[in-house]
Amino acid sequence: MSSIVTDQGIVHYETYGSGRPVILLHGWLGSWNYWLSTMEYLRRGYRCYALDFWGFGESDKKRSSFLVTDFVELVAQFIERLGIPSAVPLVGHSMGGTVSLMLALKHPERVRRVIVVGSPIHGSSLNIFLRLAGYPLFGGLARSSPKILFGVLRMAAPAITRQPKQWMDMITQDVSNMTVRSFFASIGSLRRTDLRPELKTLEIPVYGIYGPHDVIVHPNQARVLSRTARHSKIASLDGSGHFPMLDEPQRFNQALREMLDEDLAAGVGPAPAAAA
């Protein structure tokens, strides 16, 4: 287990593989653990860095703020502290994809390309229950009543992913590591986010991987991304919902690698990083 100290708190991360660096960002209620099979798949050719946002996984939970904008600064500081080349690909699932796009908009010199996975471009695309979780009353009730919360998640699991048992095992551990504040503050700020006006200004490639059976983020966000990002490409995985890395891991990893490999085919990108 690795960690670094930033200006605003400790950040836990895991790294695997050798080659060009790529940063993997998890979604709400998640952690770096969702990227295990992807890191294994990319290990030859890519040095993968998967980190936990503040308030999630093993990262700092003593902070007073867990907004999406805080996570943008977390990733920027992470890149700087580890000495990762300034132009690096970002891969983000759900909230992590929104963070990736926001970082590219704020610090375009740090990002080579963004690949989002089931990510909301605007917060109104979130499932109604996630939007309600952004309010302290509802979020606090859900987090302070774990039996009710996990009961709801267990009933919903078959509709959320084709691998409900695997997903429940992962989310049970991840939710147990969260605080009430990070639980509702992060999703509340995501609900208020709308990137549509700014995305048109991005000059870097922006790719999306979406599943048509997503019940967490409306699948129409693929069309929104395609229409608003000037240099965009969309891959639709027909058998997937919100978690294509669980629903169709082979197809997902192949699609992701093809998007990352475009730099290699063009003969551009930073020099490969040595394995630790």
Distance CA 173, CA 151 (A): 14
Give me the tens of pLDDT residue by residue for the chain, a chain 276 residues long: 799 888 778 999 999 999 999 999 999 999 999 999 999 999 999 999 999 999 999 999 988 899 999 999 999 999 999 998 779 999 999 999 999 999 999 999 999 999 999 999 999 999 998 888 766 656 555 556 667 778 888 999 999 999 999 999 999 999 888 887 888 889 999 999 999 999 999 999 999 999 999 999 999 999 999 999 989 999 999 999 999 999 999 999 999 999 999 876 655 554 444 444
Task: List, in sequence order, every residue forming a beta bridge with 3; answer none if it has no partner.
Answer: 12
Whole-prediction pTM: 0.93
- 176 C-beta neighbours (distance < 10 Å), count: 9
CA angle 10, 12, 16 (to 5 degrees): 150
Q: In one letter, which amino acid is 211?
A: G
Dig out the tokens for 5 from the structure.
């100290």
Nearest to 100 by CA among 174, 28, 23, 31: 23
19 contact partners, CB below 8 Å, separation of at least 6: 44, 45, 46, 47, 272, 273
Domains of the chain: 2-122+193-266 (3.40.50.1820)
